[in-house]
Amino acid sequence: MSGPFLQVADLSMRFGGLLAVDGIAFDVRDREIFAIIGPNGAGKTTVFNCISGFYKPSTGRISLQGQELAGLGSHTVARHGVVRTFQNVRLFKHMTVLENLLVAQHRHLKTSLPAGLLRTRAYRESEQKALDNALHWLDYMGLREFVNREAGNLAYGHQRRLEIARCMVTQPRVLMLDEPAAGLNPQEKKDLQSLIEQLRNQYGLAVLLIEHDMSLVMGVSERILVMEHGRPIALGTPEAIRGDERVIKAYLGEE
Amino acid sequence: MSTAPAASASGAGWRQNLGHALMATVLTAIVVTPIFGLHLERAGARTHIVPQWHMVGWACLIVFVVQLLHPWIFGRATRRLPRLALPTLSARQNTVLLTLVLLVAVTWPFFAGRNAVDIATLAMIYVMLGLGLNVVVGFAGLLDLGFVGFYAVGAYTYALLFHWAGWSFWEALPLAGAASALFGFVLGFPVLRLRGDYLAIVTLGFGEIIRLLLVNLTSFTGGPDGISSIPKPSVFGLEMARSSGVEGGTTFHQFFGLEFNSLHMVIFLYLMALLLAVITLWISNRLIRMPIGRAWEALREDEIACRSLGLNPMSIKLSAFTLGAMFAGFGGAFFAARQGIVNPESFTFIESALILAIVVLGGMGSQVGVILAAILLTVLPEFAREFAEYRMLVFGLVMIVMMVWRPQGLLPMKRHHVEVT
């Protein structure tokens, strides 16, 4: 494992008078699975929104392999290879499963207007490549049988997997999952855990994870950041976090 | 309507029905009085209001009776309106049908009257405009109320190029499209940051600004009088006129050894409009199947998800806005050539509203629907010329009826899916 890959330093986010996130600093190493946990309202999703460019942080630096990301637009951040899923799944519900994956590859495609109108060879080839890539990921995720189905009609667990597949077709370097296990049954949670590990091992991703399900978090992540009221209270390996008094206090309350 | 069976059964239902009917009657009286009931009559220099209460009385009586018997008349009939939808055709059937339609569209003017062809030409212009706006509103979901502005830019580009530089229609046509596209692009930049209602209001403003500019740049655009005697398009350099404007030039009828007939020009204009409309249809049909078409659709569904995947919403919206404007530009240049005169009067907000109505009526995103609606909305008013005064009234009524019974439009958009086995 190499040095810092995704680096977050001194991150704070202020909404008017409310300091939602304050003094967050951590770094995710290459090929690391890193989790952020904390009680509801601790500011985990706000940190996600800052990293993925949906919020412009009030202060702080976010860099990916030395490339500054803070303040770039969300689509630019995604183009640098940092893609995310959402707490409540955001699929293109009225488009088919396949089309969801094709749209995600938009920027990899040859999209020039004349080429598309005349269906040049290069255009058809790039469409075919996108199609193959999409089908590969549907096979990988076990969603192949639903390929022509409208995404909104899939079962919830499948929608979650499709959302991850949609991230993967963009060939990300950092995959950010916002509560990927929410609403899944125990079997699906187990599958999710192995999926996350598999993706990391096969595709060399760094994975950044927000999750409430403790068995998943403890099982899958290498390091964990614990937040409370927008501030970091602990950072370390799952074993260290499990024994940390401040963390226990945050979750169980004072005696 | 769900109370209908109960209404026929019980006294309480009757009373409720009577209440509804009375309410409707009062509303009718209020609406109808200024339209039918009060006539302005001019006697010399003075105008007086002559009330015609019997008209109001009749209207109220009709509404009252119909409302009272409403459950029996409509109770069953409206519960299930037949669902109009295009039958699914195989690719082969589709080609055959398309060829047939095209064949009829090309040949019928040779057997039809001058007036009919003229109206059909107008209909084709609206088909073109409708399909253009369909890209913006139907595909990309951007509510544009100033579409007519781009139409005006196209028309004036040709008119001004002719007036100041003597360009011919064919030379000016590509430039008209380009100028409108450029306007769409430049206006789109600041405007497309806005969403929904705000976008609609600002585009509405831009449409008006363009019109007011045309009115007020008197020395350049001719102001409210506009620019006149714009030449019609030539046929591969052959003029369509009784005698050539240029010394020693050959005209169309001389070249082909035909008797001069002004109908030739009308038919030629129609065929050109048809050609432009078909090209517009073909391009927009390709667009929706291309990656950009998918991106428009995705953006319409969820902009945040699009951004999280690296799609730049601004450039995707701009492309729709620019392409739509370009179609309007071509339409505008053709309009200028057909009319022979352009003035700002032709580019008022009503025109934008009409084009938008075509798109909404046809079914947003549905190309066949838009074409049908464009033809309906241009041809029907011609049949009902006696009722010209009530045109807007009927128009509004049709819109309300549509929104109640078929909010998705005449032929709702059927999504084109990429399918694999």
Side chain identity at residue B251, one-letter code? T
Q: How confident is the model at residue B178 (pLDDT cuts 50, 70, 90)?
A: very high
Nearest-CB residue to A109 (from B291, B304, B419): B291
Task: Single out the residue of B171, B148, B151 nearest to residue B161, CA to CA.
Answer: B171
CB contact under 8 A, A117 and B308: no
Q: How confident is the model at residue B6 (pLDDT cuts 50, 70, 90)?
A: very low
Domain map (residue ranges) of chain B: 4-74, 100-233+261-405
Residue A225 contacts B where some CB pair is shorter than 8 Å: no
Residue A170 contacts B where some CB pair is shorter than 8 Å: yes
Q: Give the phi and the psi of residue B218 in degrees, each rounded to 5.
A: -55, -45
Q: How confident is the model at residue B258 (pLDDT cuts 50, 70, 90)?
A: confident
CB contact under 8 A, A116 and B291: yes
pTM, two decimal places: 0.83
pLDDT at B2 over 50: no
CB contact under 8 A, A99 and B418: yes
Q: Give the phi and the psi of residue A21 in degrees, each rounded to 5.
A: -135, 135
Q: What is the pLDDT of residue B21?
A: 85
Q: What is the pLDDT of residue B3?
A: 45
Mean pLDDT of A169-177: 95
Total H helices, total E strands in chain B:
18, 2
| Residue reference for tokens 């290879």 | A81
Strand-pair partners of A177: A209
Q: What is the pLDDT of residue B31?
A: 82
CB contact under 8 A, B295 and A96: no
Listing DSSP states for B231-296 in one string gives: PPPPBTTBB-SSS-SSTTPPBHHHHTTPPP-HHHHHHHHHHHHHHHHHHHHHHHHHHHHSHHHHHH
Eight-state DSSP code of residue B412: P
Q: What is the pLDDT of residue B415?
A: 72
Taking the C-alpha atoms of residue B82 and residue B92, their distance in angstroms, rounded to an integer, is: 27
Q: How confident is the model at residue B245 (pLDDT cuts 50, 70, 90)?
A: low
Residue A73 contacts B where some CB pair is shorter than 8 Å: yes
Neighbours of A68 (CB within 10 A): 12
Q: What is the pLDDT of residue B81?
A: 53
Averaged pLDDT score across all residues of chain A: 91
Nearest-CB residue to B298 (from A74, A103, A111): A103
Mean pLDDT of B126-138: 95
Q: What is the pLDDT of residue B92?
A: 82
In sequence order, the 6+-apart residues with CB closer than 8 A to the CB of B72 are B8
Q: Between B250 and B197, where is the model more confident?
A: B197
Q: How far is B220 from chain A (nearest CA, A)?
A: 35
Q: What is the pLDDT of residue B87?
A: 66
Taking the C-alpha atoms of residue B307 and residue A53, their distance in angstroms, rounded to an integer, is: 9
Q: What is the pLDDT of residue B385?
A: 72
Mean pLDDT of B89-101: 83
In order of B64, B94, B410, the CA distances from B86 in angstroms are 38, 11, 10
Size of interface A-B (CB pairs under 8 A): 107
Q: What is the pLDDT of residue B406?
A: 79
Residues on B contacting A at a C-beta cutoff of 8 Å: 283, 286-287, 290-292, 294-295, 297-298, 301-302, 304-313, 319, 415, 417-420
pLDDT at B165 over 80: yes
Q: How confident is the model at residue B8 (pLDDT cuts 50, 70, 90)?
A: very low
Domains, chain A = 1-81+172-255 (3.40.50.300), 91-169 (no CATH)
For the segment B313-337, what is each residue's pLDDT rounded down to a tens digit? 999 999 999 999 999 999 999 999 9
Q: Between B383 and A154, where is the model more confident?
A: A154
pLDDT at B10 over 90: no
Residue A209 contacts B where some CB pair is shorter than 8 Å: no
Q: Is the ipTM of this complex over 0.95?
A: no
Nearest-CB residue to B420 (from A53, A84, A98): A98
Looking at chain B, the whole-number percentage of residues with pLDDT higher than 70 is: 90
Q: What is the pLDDT of residue B147?
A: 95
Q: What is the pLDDT of residue A255?
A: 54
pLDDT at B208 over 80: yes
Nearest chain A residue to B286 by CA: give it: A117
For the segment B33-72, what is each residue's pLDDT rounded down to a tens digit? 877 777 777 777 787 877 778 888 888 888 888 888 877 7
Q: How far is B198 from chain A (nearest CA, A)?
A: 22
Taking the C-alpha atoms of residue B147 and residue B137, their distance in angstroms, rounded to an integer, is: 10
Q: Between B418 and B75, where is the model more confident?
A: B418
Please state which of the ranges A103-112, B8-17, B218-227 shows the lowest mean pLDDT.
B8-17
Identify from B297, B307, B309 which residue to disrupt to test chain A contact, counting A C-beta atoms within 10 A and taking the largest count.
Answer: B309
| CATH number for the domain whose boundaries are B100-233+261-405 | 1.10.3470
SS3 label, residue B138:
helix
Please state which of the ranges B215-229, B236-250, B269-283 shows the lowest mean pLDDT.
B236-250
For the segment A29-79, what is each residue's pLDDT rounded down to a tens digit? 999 999 999 988 899 999 999 999 999 999 999 999 989 998 898 999 999
Averaged pLDDT score across all residues of chain B: 85
Q: How confident is the model at residue B302 (pLDDT cuts 50, 70, 90)?
A: very high
Residue A104 contacts B where some CB pair is shorter than 8 Å: yes
pLDDT at B391 over 50: yes
Strand-pair partners of A7: A27, A63
Nearest-CB residue to A74 (from B291, B307, B415): B307
CB contact under 8 A, B283 and A103: no
Side chain identity at residue A172, one-letter code? P
